[in-house]
Structure 1
Amino acid sequence: MRFMMIVKATTDSEAGVKPTQELIDAMQRYNEELVKAGVLLAADGLMPSAGAVRISYPEPGGKPKVVDGPFTEAKEMIAGYTLIEVKSREEAIEWAMRMPDPHGFGQGEIELRQVYEVEDIMENPESQEKENALRMKLGERNKA
Structure 2
Amino acid sequence: MRFMILVKATKDSEAGVMPSEELIAAMGAFNEALVKAGVMQAGEGLHPSSKGARVQFSGKNRTVVDGPFAETKELVAGYWIWECASLQEAIDWVKRCPNPMLTDSDIEIRQVYTAEDFGEAFTPELREQEDRLRAEIEAQQAKKG
TM over 0.5: yes
What is the match of residue 44 of structure 2?
44
Q: Deviations over 1:23-61 (max 9, x none)?
A: 101100000001101111111000001111110112x2x
Select which of 55, 65, 68 maps to 1:67: 65
Q: Could you say what the CA RMSD is over the residues aligned between the two structures, in angstroms?
A: 1.1
Contact 1:119-1:128 at 8 Å conserved across structures: no
Q: SS in structure 1 opposite 2:61?
A: coil
Does 2:121 correspond to 1:137?
A: no
Does 2:109 correspond to 1:112?
A: yes
Letter in 1 for 2:37: A
Superposed, which structure 2 residues align to 1:52-63 within 5 Å? 52-58=52-58, 60=59, 62-63=60-61
**Gaps in structure 2 of 5+ consecutive residues:** none
What is the match of residue 14 of structure 2?
14
Alignment size in residue pairs: 141
Q: Distance in 2 between matches of 1:28 and 1:104?
A: 16
Contact 1:5-1:81 at 8 Å conserved across structures: yes
Q: By how many angstroms is 1:83 displaced?
A: 0.8
Q: Distance in 2 between matches of 1:143 and 1:123?
A: 28
What is the match of residue 122 of structure 2?
123
Q: By how many angstroms is 1:104 displaced?
A: 3.3
Q: Distance in 1 between matches of 2:54 and 2:140?
A: 28
Letter in 1 for 2:105: G
Runs of 4+ deviating beyond 3 Å: none
Q: Distance in 2 between matches of 1:128 and 1:80?
A: 29
**Gaps in structure 1 of 5+ consecutive residues:** none
Contact 2:40-2:83 at 8 Å conserved across structures: yes
Q: Distance in 2 between matches of 1:30 and 1:143?
A: 25
